[in-house]
Structure 1
Amino acid sequence: MADETKTFKQITDTIIPAIGGKDNAIEAFHCATRLRINLKDTSKVDKKTLMNMPLVKGVNINPTNKQLQIIFGPGLVDRVTAYFIKHTGIPAAGDSGDAEAVKEAGENDTKKKKGWFQNFLDDLTGVFTEILPGILAGGILIGLNNLLTQNVFGSQSIIQMVPGLSGVSKIIGIGAGGIFAMLPLIVCYSATKRYGGRPVLGLAIGAVMMSSSLPSMSDVATGAAKPMIANVFGWHVSMTSFGGQIIVALIMGWVVAKLDNYFQKHLPGVIQFVLAPMLTILFASLGLFLVIGPVGVALSKGITDALLWVANTLGVFGYAAFSGVQQLIVITGLHNMFGAVETQLLASTGHDFLNPLMSVALMGQGGGVVAYYILNHKNKKAREISISAFFSILFGISEPALFGINLEKKYPLVGGCIGGAIAGAFVYLVKLNAISFGTTGLTGIAIAAPEHNGYLMYFLANLIGVVFGCIFSLILSKFIKPSHEDEVGEKDASKYGQLN
């Protein structure tokens, strides 16, 4: 622990001067793998110094959005970011307690410059990064329960062979099912927090959405129940609960935050404590059942139907195209929108066909790294950075490979995309699916859907991505030649992996 703290201090002390000083930073936050710092001026960043810090797997600067991204990897990035924010005083994005400090630093001006779409993506990243551990836990628990209850290893399931595990299986099923059943409530909490409202009010409106006094949408759709009808000034409103409605939950989180901030600002201090939360929930509930709920449900259905239409209509070509370009989307940062889409897919269909496609796209880039290693194995630095990048790929993190090797050398990037596309076609042909999202690579097998020999097909699909990514990268290396083949950047690869 002492060594870790010492390393984090070294990182923090290096970052501040390397970004042009604390005054150049607006806010800091993290996604699943990267410390992200919004800056006033990206031209002041000393990328070489940042790359030479311990534990850093890559550095990316987005001048359009004025954002610095330092790649540390999952788990580690949480601890680095927490230490960095605590010891620098730089505001954390979405921290309502630092709202004034953020404004003083120019956050509002930066948001305008970034544009509504990039701000939307940043907010989605914040919302789903917050709740991803819960979703991941639920998905892996479902996968574990599938291993216990299905005939994966022979003619009998594990609980048939070991009856004492049947109770454990039931508890696991309840735990996993409870997480996904309450996803709208969890999303609403995170969205309210992200947009600067009091998170407990997000939980409150999430509870309204999931109210047990209302019939479920699925029961109403099948005719098993009738919707509750409410007369609101002559307007007959059909009311059901909103289980599985992630888009509605996202919108409601934003609405609750805006209402909460409005009432806190405009109500007198004497009555604010009592009336602000009450009025927030009252008006949010009215908006939920009168407008936002119906519109959000229609939008959710449209997104799900569109994805299923693309999958069913374009078939193998659609799968191949998506997995072929998915890692290019990661480079742009637009991949952060997939969290909301995947969550809605899971809530609507119980499966996520995008997850295995993302995994094989990742493994295609891993194949590109293997090709780079083969061509440069005599160079010590190339070997070290290749091995580090490939192991990151195996555990679902592509940024070290993308920004450390493939993007610079080009042929591994293109070859990896081709390998990913071929593996994506295989995913379609074997009907591979997932029961959750949030993890790819080796650990992604835990959330592979067991139908159609899912575990074996998952392994084969990812292997295909690596093999063909490597083959096509080797071929393309004959035609796409970097000017300095043996240079892998200034990063000292020996510093990788000091902490887990």
Structure 2
Amino acid sequence: MTQNYAQDAQTLLQLVGGPGNISAVTHCMTRMRFVLVDPAKADIKDIEALPSVKGTFTQAGQFQVVVGNGVSDFYNEFTRVAGVQGVSGEAAKEAAKQNQNPLQRVMTNIAEIFAPIIPAIIVGGLILGFRNVIGEMRVFGDGTQALTELSQFWNGVNSFLWLIGEAIFHFLPVGIVWSITRKMGTTQILGIVLGLTLVSPQLLNAYSVPTTAPGDVPFWDFGFAQLPMIGYQAQVIPAILAGFTLVYLERFFRRITPQVVSMIVVPFFALLLSVIIAHAVLGPIGWTIGGWISGVVSAGLASSFNVLFAALFGFLYAPLVITGLHHMTNAIDLQLIADTGGTNLWPMIALSNIAQGSAVLAMIFLQKRDTQAKEVSVPAALSCYLGVTEPAMFGVNLKYVFPFFAAMAGSALAGMYSIATGVVANSIGVGGLPGILSIKVPSMLNFAVAMLIAVVVPFIITWVVGKQRGLDKVGAVDSVQADGLQMPTPRG
């Protein structure tokens, strides 16, 4: 049954400053996204008091109101009562950039490049995890045989699923270059073609380069020069550099070419020059930069200070999500996977998500008599354990503050254990409890222990602090200001 949002939509319109203060409005899966002319006019306290609203935050120049799964109905009602025209998500992002500083714009651009391809990467991670379970877990024949060695059916499944895994990870540059051309508004098919030239079967596979003697690397011989025929399978930085080169070359030729011949001249010269530059210059440079990045991160995670690094990363990852800086980790993870065959960074991200969900779980038990609170916290905890943290973070943990810090502490301890025991993931996966499927088989037991830490520590801290503050008493809570933060205090 569809909820009636008419009253809340009307009230929200006034609380954000009225129609004149709305530069753009759109929505995503759980949130209303506003680009406000004057963000200071938004009455955050009263907005968060609305029955339909689970929290608010500002990110990437957009004032975002967490509504939940009914956001599309709320959005339709809001645009009706407001008399404003909604815009596409892309248009809202562009409008929001006027409120961003240079660093935020860089992070937004990175996020917009990777966002369209993340679903495929998650699927690939799950598939690699499942292949590990049936092909690497030797739990049969006194611990000497995997399922694929006992069953021709599962051996066939294992082989067949690699078709998808290879398409996602080996051909990742195709998706990256396509996403860049899509974001920048240039010809997307040219991006796809350029990406394919980076991973063509004619080229020496990137995974074979380290084990191939220099004299055995194939090359194109132009008489006056030779160009190594090296592929860039799974490489992130070369694909990003090549993609932006294509974009700016296409824009350049479109600007200087007469309209009557632009359909022929522009794509021909933009693509041809991009392919040449990608293989002659940008590919080797990008490979080197990518190697440096993964090398620095790997060295940090393998150094004598790795546990300290893990504690810091685990503690700060959730705040990074609020700023949007966490999107940089996607590129780092993918580069680590390409260079080392796995990533020990992503498991800590999954643990951070689990920790946020566990803090909410404690709030559910503390407020078990508060029906209104559980309407927010129960679905928030479920979505968090499945990898979507925003309802939990903005709807519960940041609202009360101390659960957020409890989750950060649990994430730090879980991350320390993960790094100390050498947990490695095959790929990016679902950033919650199902994330264990993306972990390499030898690391699964230790990751399970890290998950237990991420569940227990935030739960206990939140429970103890919540009990001290009387959140387990019957009834709702009022808010008082404490140290500049919204802190709850029991009513009655």
Q: Is the TM value for this pair above 0.5? A: yes
Contact 2:237 2:287 in 1 (8 A): yes
Q: Residue 69 of structure 1 is aligned with which of 49, 64, 74?
A: 64
Contact 1:193 1:257 in 2 (8 A): no
Change (3 A) 1:182 1:401: same
Contact 2:30 2:67 in 1 (8 A): yes
Q: Which 10-residue stretch deviates more, 411-420 or 157-166?
A: 157-166
Shift of 1:273: 0.9
Shift of 1:488: 8.0
Q: Residue 316 of structure 1 is aligned with which of 293, 300, 307?
A: 307
Which amino acid in the other structure matches residue 170 of structure 1? Answer: S
Per the alignment, residue 316 of structure 2 pairs with 325
Change (3 A) 1:53 1:231: farther
What is the CA RMSD across the aligned residues, in angstroms? Answer: 3.8
Deviation digits for residues 337-361 of structure 1 (CA, Å, limit 9, x no counterpart): 2111112222222212122111222
Deviation digits for residues 32-84 of structure 1 (CA, Å, limit 9, x no counterpart): 86564444332454655587586x6543224xx531234467x9989999999
Deviation digits for residues 188-220 of structure 1 (CA, Å, limit 9, x no counterpart): 111111122111111011112123333234434
Change (3 A) 1:39 1:52: same
Per the alignment, residue 99 of structure 1 pairs with none
Per the alignment, residue 427 of structure 2 pairs with 436
Change (3 A) 1:21 1:29: same
Per the alignment, residue 353 of structure 2 pairs with 362
Q: Which 10-residue stretch deviates more, 416-425 or 41-50?
A: 41-50
Q: How does 1:49-64 map to 2 (within 5 A)?
A: 52=50, 57-62=54-59
Q: Residue 161 of structure 2 is aligned with which of 150, 153, 172?
A: 172
* SS at structure 2 position matched to 1:201: helix
Per the alignment, residue 128 of structure 1 pairs with 114
Q: How does 1:20-169 map to 2 (within 5 A)?
A: 20-21=18-19, 24-26=22-24, 36-45=33-42, 48=46, 52=50, 57-62=54-59, 65-71=60-66, 88=85, 90-93=87-90, 107=94, 111=97, 113-151=99-137, 153-155=139-141, 156-169=145-158
Per the alignment, residue 450 of structure 1 pairs with 441
Q: Residue 396 of structure 1 is aligned with which of 376, 387, 409?
A: 387
Contact 1:15 1:50 in 2 (8 A): no
Change (3 A) 1:356 1:167: same
Q: Distance in 1 between matches of 2:38 and 2:73?
A: 26
* SS at structure 1 position matched to 2:131: helix
Per the alignment, residue 349 of structure 1 pairs with 340
Contact 2:217 2:229 in 1 (8 A): no
Q: Distance in 2 between matches of 1:465 and 1:115?
A: 34
Shift of 1:403: 1.5
Shift of 1:230: 5.4
* SS at structure 1 position matched to 2:477: coil
Contact 1:214 1:240 in 2 (8 A): yes
Change (3 A) 1:222 1:450: same
Which amino acid in the other structure matches residue 21 of structure 1? Answer: P
Shift of 1:378: 3.5
* SS at structure 2 position matched to 1:159: helix
Q: Distance in 2 between matches of 1:18 and 1:281?
A: 50
Change (3 A) 1:263 1:79: farther
Per the alignment, residue 272 of structure 1 pairs with 262
Q: How does 1:284-303 map to 2 (within 5 A)?
A: 284-303=274-293
Q: Distance in 1 between matches of 2:194 and 2:51?
A: 44
The alignment status of 1:200 with 2:189, answered yes or no, reads yes
Which amino acid in the other structure matches residue 250 of structure 1? Answer: I
Q: Residue 377 of structure 2 is aligned with which of 379, 386, 401?
A: 386
Change (3 A) 1:50 1:259: farther
Deviation digits for residues 206-237 of structure 1 (CA, Å, limit 9, x no counterpart): 112123333234434323432525559x6665
Q: Distance in 1 between matches of 2:198 and 2:161?
A: 25
Shift of 1:89: 5.2
Contact 1:33 1:397 in 2 (8 A): no
* SS at structure 2 position matched to 1:451: helix
Change (3 A) 1:139 1:283: same
Q: Which 10-residue stretch deviates more, 303-312 or 16-25?
A: 16-25
Contact 2:219 2:226 in 1 (8 A): no
TM-score using structure 1 length: 0.80
Per the alignment, residue 494 of structure 1 pairs with none
Deviation digits for residues 166-190 of structure 1 (CA, Å, limit 9, x no counterpart): 2222111222122211011111111
Q: How does 1:220-239 map to 2 (within 5 A)?
A: 220-224=209-213, 225-228=216-219, 237-239=227-229
Shift of 1:258: 2.2
Contact 1:437 1:447 in 2 (8 A): yes
* SS at structure 1 position matched to 2:194: helix
Which amino acid in the other structure matches residue 204 of structure 1? Answer: V
Shift of 1:262: 2.8
Shift of 1:242: 1.7
Q: Distance in 2 between matches of 1:194 and 1:81?
A: 25
Which amino acid in the other structure matches residue 256 of structure 2? Answer: H
Which amino acid in the other structure matches residue 61 of structure 2? Answer: K
Q: Distance in 2 between matches of 1:142 and 1:78?
A: 34
Q: Distance in 2 between matches of 1:190 and 1:34?
A: 24
Contact 1:195 1:253 in 2 (8 A): no
Q: Distance in 2 between matches of 1:283 and 1:306?
A: 32
Per the alignment, residue 493 of structure 1 pairs with none
Deviation digits for residues 303-357 of structure 1 (CA, Å, limit 9, x no counterpart): 1001101101122222222112211211222112211111222222221212211
Q: Distance in 2 between matches of 1:282 and 1:43?
A: 49
Q: Residue 189 of structure 1 is aligned with which of 154, 173, 178?
A: 178
Q: Distance in 2 between matches of 1:171 and 1:388?
A: 36
Q: Which 10-residue stretch deviates more, 370-379 or 190-199?
A: 370-379
Any stretches of 5+ residues in structure 2 without a counterpart?
Answer: 480-492
Identity of aligned residues (%): 26
Contact 1:319 1:425 in 2 (8 A): yes
Contact 2:126 2:429 in 1 (8 A): no
Q: Distance in 1 between matches of 2:377 and 2:455?
A: 14
Q: Which 10-residue stretch deviates more, 317-326 or 186-195?
A: 317-326
Per the alignment, residue 489 of structure 2 pairs with none
